[in-house]
Amino acid sequence: MFYGCSPLFLAKNTLRFPASIPPAQRGHRPHGTAGQIPALGRKCTMDLHAAYPALADLRARARHRIPKFVWEYLDSGTGFEATKARNRTALDRVGFAPSVLHGEITPELTTTLFGHDMPLPFGIAPIGMSGLIWPGAEGHLARAGARHGIPYAISTVATQSPEDIAPDLGQHAWFQMYPPRDPDIRTDMLNRARTAGFTTLILTVDVPSASRRERQVRSGLTNPPSITPRILAQIATCPAWAIETAKRGMPHMRGLDKYANAATQGLSTTAHVGYLLRTAPDWDYVKWLRDAWDGPFIIKGIMRPQDATQLESLGADAIWVSNHAGRQFDAALSSIEVLPSIRAATTLPILFDSGVETGLDILRAIALGADYVMLGRAFHFALGALGARGVDHLIDILAKDMIANMGQMGAKDLRSLPPAIELP
């Protein structure tokens, strides 16, 4: 029972409201490491680092706070999830030799990217339908990025439009584009992103078609979500998620509303209206976008050195090494094992993702050639666990873990990291 109502009654009735909350009412009250955590209908004060010292703890809590179909969407890969597993295994094989007798040091985490001084070497990667994972996710993430001075990247298929999120953006606002087929839609999308305040464009090139994502299919999730008895039963076990979703209405891809039409019928359960609008880009498409966008231009989803070399010749400003966290192709190499060869093939800045869970993982990627590291799933685990304050807490976890491990290596800054070694 939840305040006198069964969770099932709550889910059935509150999910009918297509509510929207004005931006002024979506603000986030700042939290430190101690805060108010709901527990059995009452509030208590606790140290978040004592309760949730690692991402694994946030992940475990999130799994119980969001419905199963949402969890499967967030956590799953594709196929047997071998690529997802390889990402973790390969990161664990990247080691360092400890270094001692350096005296007291205070490791510095600052770096530079696109000519900007960055306080931390990691940012918030785009995930489609963020607001399905936790209501209001895009706003929470954008505001956290602004507070901490790190990049926040919104997806083309977010549950908030560029216009919705504009008041929440900080200096490092990035717009991730799935490539529209129609040049008029393409141009309009770029103009909307610019007007909203996005300064950097990301073209994702590793999703030429919908992947299978069998776990997601088995969970009953469809696009757009359908409220079936099975889905209602899952929602009923997660009252906090249900209440917040009811306040905002069932999430959908608001940024694509003006382009959508009735042609969504016949899509697979892992596809969506975005697939009707997008194309599989080629080199000419990259050239067109380079000419159309006057800010930093990142190409995401690069796994081969020769592609990085050619993209540099076409005027890309950065390469994003990624296998889409194992969500697209189950025969891919891990992202970390291709990183050194791509580093050797280009002088461009390299961003990195896929499988990153700790501050040590961030150091591993930087040691092997990444200039900046992005995390997507991790920040959504944090949201699922603790809502908005989970994002701040995860940023603190990652920074503290980087500092602790840099101390073990005697590294006073990111440029002082020792060479990585391959562990058995």
Q: Kindly name the residue from 148, 252, 324, 380 that is annotated as catalytic.
A: 324
Q: How far apart are CA 73 and CA 293, in angstroms?
A: 32
In a domain, 340, yes or no: yes
Cα end-to-end span (Å), the chain: 51
Q: Is 324 a catalytic residue?
A: yes
In a domain, 263, yes or no: no
Is residue 119 predicted with pLDDT exceeding 90?
yes
In a domain, 40, yes or no: no
pLDDT in the model for residue 334? 98
In a domain, 187, yes or no: yes
CA distances to 32, 152, 243, 356, 365 from 155, rounded to whole Å, are 28, 10, 24, 19, 23
Per the structure, the count of domains in the chain is: 1
CA distances to 154, 299, 321 from 177, rounded to whole Å, are 9, 10, 16
In a domain, 281, yes or no: yes
pLDDT in the model for residue 162? 97
Is residue 198 predicted with pLDDT exceeding 60?
yes
Q: Which domain holds residue 334?
A: 7-16+50-255+275-422
Nearest to 57 by CA among 269, 367, 358: 358
What is the separation of C-alpha 205 from the centre of its chain, rounded to a whole number of angstroms?
16
Q: How far apart are CA 121 and CA 224, in angstroms?
A: 35
In a domain, 369, yes or no: yes
Mean pLDDT of all residues belonging to the chain: 88
The model's pTM is: 0.87
Q: How far apart are CA 120 and CA 273, in angstroms?
A: 35
Which is more confidently placed, 272 or 71?
A: 71
pLDDT in the model for residue 274? 57
CATH number at residue 359: 3.20.20.70
Nearest to 269 by CA among 324, 230, 213, 325: 213
Condensed to tens digits (0 to 9), the pLDDT of residues 364-410 reads: 999 999 999 999 999 999 999 999 999 999 999 999 999 999 999 99
Nearest to 204 by CA among 176, 226, 223: 176
In a domain, 35, yes or no: no
Condensed to tens digits (0 to 9), the pLDDT of residues 218-228 reads: 998 887 778 89
In a domain, 114, yes or no: yes
Q: How far apart are CA 245 and CA 234, in angstroms?
A: 14
Is residue 325 predicted with pLDDT exceeding 80?
yes
Which of 250-254, 288-292, 356-360, 384-388 is the least confident region? 250-254
